[in-house]
Amino acid sequence: MQTIQIVLEEDLLKAADREVKRLRTNRSRLFRTALREHLKRSRLKEDEDRERAAYAAMPEGDEMTAFDKVTGRRVARLNEVRMHSVCAAVAFALGCDAS
């Protein structure tokens, strides 16, 4: 691991410290967890955008096959994300844009 320095607004730091206390952890772990969750959600969004584009490019008549492929993969990824709901709450508390 490497040590880094970041600058945060005071209200964001106070919110992070409240989360640290509530989760009985430390700032470093909180920020690592939130960043991992944010990156995972970002990759999920990129995958969904790619799948939407691929589905839009499918010729008519292949809709159900394309739909099954897209939704099957999406459901699996959403289940993985749901397993980390505490991490999502931390990311939200820290103001990470998970959309």
Would the pLDDT of 35 be above 90? yes
Concatenated DSSP letters of the chain? ---------HHHHHHHHHHHHHHT--HHHHHHHHHHHHHHHHHHHHHHHHHHHHHHTSPTT-HHHHHHHHHHHHHHHHHHHHTTHHHHHHHHHTT----
Q: How far apart (Å, rounded) are the C-alpha atoms in residues 61 and 59?
A: 6
Summarize pLDDT for 54-73 with one digit per residue, the tens. 777 766 655 555 656 656 66
Provide the CA 55 distance to its chain's centre, in angstroms: 23
pTM of the model: 0.55
